[in-house]
Chains A and B, each alone.
Chain A
């Protein structure tokens, strides 16, 4: 294990990083139907089956309206499927209550958003701490870990800056540190480079690559082929179903065939 994830200070919960190759996400015949009005319905997902193993690097692509955002929301436990089963880390989360889903998000999922979504009134350090806040933890016990994460993303000298004092690339790196603080089962990245120029975007992607190399499961949604080319596995969505799937052995972090 490289030092990136194996920090000197422990994560809040017991380490959740499942051993490589173990299935952490299992979707079984997931349907999602949005009711728009009395009769109008949108069948956003029409029976998606998907299994993601620990340590994978998965990219989801597809045109708008294909259901990829819906899938991402479901994967992120922000929404519940209309039908079907979703097991996250062995736990069925498909029909959980709002509170229970919040709990799952806080403990098992790390989010990276296109527009960074840092909280403007908080400093870099405080932003990294936010996921811990809702797990009822005493933040003072985890300050060292948060500082270390800030250093990991190269912002060790900007702990007390406000988001508006940072560049876009720096803000996204804070967001990455934040997504790591609860040592999640997986990191969900929604167009992480969408708001960045190609150079800073590449830097951010390098950082994400590094996390994957260290064993983190990454799922990212993008419509940029160059971004998707870094993933080991690319699924293309169309009309609420997985249209096709590409295994990309040329990806920089792709596991050697011996592991695959």
Chain B
């Protein structure tokens, strides 16, 4: 019974709104844009922060990354000609650093040293520029690695400085088209390394961080060899040929990944590692990357971002609501006579309130529904057009829709009340 009356009131409201299609449509537009912008903005923000967070998560939230950096003052010296020409530049993390980290920092689970050397890897006539990474067997525990075929490095390889290598799937494809890599060896510099395994590395982010140094090259061209092999085969002094000249660097380790037992240990270890390294490095030739910290920052940024976006969208909804109120007030004035007639024919004040409130809510919820549809389509279009990731979250849709309904009620209440409080006699006399 009651629902029947509500339904007929809603039907009546729609009928009254359809009487002025253009006016109702324009009024709804405010709400449509408001809701649409809430959903679309939050979707784009959510997508952007999701990508950033995924990238950081892949570094491992239990890990602390330490990278060797060429100290800026040393670089200036070298290019400025002031420094000793032909002499090798010594900087970066050392084997001792790695050992000290393992020995002194509490809560450390693993310390994985890496030497990253850029070399061309050859097989037959194929030649692919690669990162030759010398590391330890438990590299796989720190970075997520899928072994597709064969095996990863072992302690025996390390101990005997075996001339073996593990290559990434991408490299296998480029280097051995139509061949089984497991049956062959690759040539790096002057030595041959037998392929013992093919892996798929899922932690792309680490490589992406280095992408700047490897312009234009595919990111998954990695060759893994035992650290001991790397030391003996390549030596400590690395010579890089540049156009016309060459530079020699002495870098023991390019990167050390410190895996902590848990995220709590990460927080305490962070300053400890800094202090430790500072004691043994008199120049600023390393950097610390704490994914957990980055993640926290990313989350804080996202929160701030959402508040800003939310406020902008809320303001547009507010403007839409004021538009609705404006139209409804005009509507009440215009329909004063109708209100008088309805009152004379038995309508109570609350019947009139309800009638106008329903009209406002129909306007705003109708606008809200259209806004939700448009708002869910917009991020898809943005994704297609700009290659940005967007995520439409359920809560943003619910919040936007809820706000549009609330806007209808809040901004409809005053005009509806104004209509109900009209004196029926005055209203009937109104021209």
B-contacting residues of A (Cβ < 8 Å)?
73, 76, 78-79, 98-99, 102-103, 105-107, 111, 113, 117-122, 130-131, 133-136, 138-139, 178, 182
Contact = CB atoms under 8 A, between A and B. Distances in A.
Interface string B392-431: 0000000000000000000000000000000011001000
Interface string B286-303: 000000000000000000
B263 interface: no
Contacts of B18: 121
B351 A134 contact: yes
B1 A136 contact: yes
A82 B4 CA distance: 39
A98 B12 CA distance: 24
Nearest to B20: A121
Query: At the interface, is chain B mostly helix, strand, loop or mixed?
Result: helix
Nearest to A110: B345
B194 interface: no
B428 to A, nearest CB: 7
A130 B343 CA distance: 11
B425 A73 contact: yes
Given A78-B424, A133-B8, A98 B346 contact: no
A134 B420 CA distance: 14
Interface bin, chain B:
20 to 34
A41 B349 CA distance: 28
B85 interface: no
Contacts of B188: none
B252 to A, nearest CB: 85
A139 B8 contact: yes
Interface of B: 1, 4-5, 8, 12, 15-16, 18-19, 337-338, 340-351, 424-425, 428
B14 to A, nearest CB: 10
Contacts of B344: 76, 78, 105, 111, 117
Contacts, number: 71
A118 B8 CA distance: 18
B345 A136 contact: no
Nearest to B16: A121
A131 B346 contact: yes
B311 to A, nearest CB: 39
B4 A131 contact: no
Nearest to A104: B346
B345 A130 contact: yes
B343 A102 contact: yes
A54 to B, nearest CB: 21
A107 B346 CA distance: 7
A158 B329 CA distance: 33
Contact of A121 (B15, B342, B348, B428): B15
A237 B350 CA distance: 36
A108 to B, nearest CB: 10
A117 B337 contact: yes
A113 B341 CA distance: 9
Nearest to A108: B346
B182 to A, nearest CB: 80
Given A73-B425, A113-B428, A98 B345 contact: no
A78 B19 CA distance: 29
12 contacts: A76-B344, A78-B428, A99-B348, A106-B347, A107-B346, A119-B338, A119-B342, A120-B19, A121-B15, A130-B341, A130-B345, A134-B351
A138 B4 contact: yes
Contact of A134 (B12, B337, B340, B346): B346
Given A73-B425, A76-B344, A130-B345, A121 B4 contact: no
A118 B342 CA distance: 10
Nearest to B351: A134
Contacts of A135: 346
A65 to B, nearest CB: 15
Contact of B341 (A102, A119, A182): A119
Nearest to B346: A106
A106 B347 CA distance: 7
Contacts of A119: 338, 341-342
A42 to B, nearest CB: 14
Contacts of A98: 348-349
B341 A121 contact: no
Contacts of A105: 343-346
A131 B4 CA distance: 16
Could you say which of B337, B338, B344, B428 has the most chain A C-beta atoms within 10 Å of its C-beta?
A: B344
Nearest to B427: A78
Contacts of B350: 99
Contacts of A182: 346
B2 to A, nearest CB: 9
A122 B18 CA distance: 12
B421 to A, nearest CB: 10
Contacts of B5: 136
A128 to B, nearest CB: 11
B314 to A, nearest CB: 34
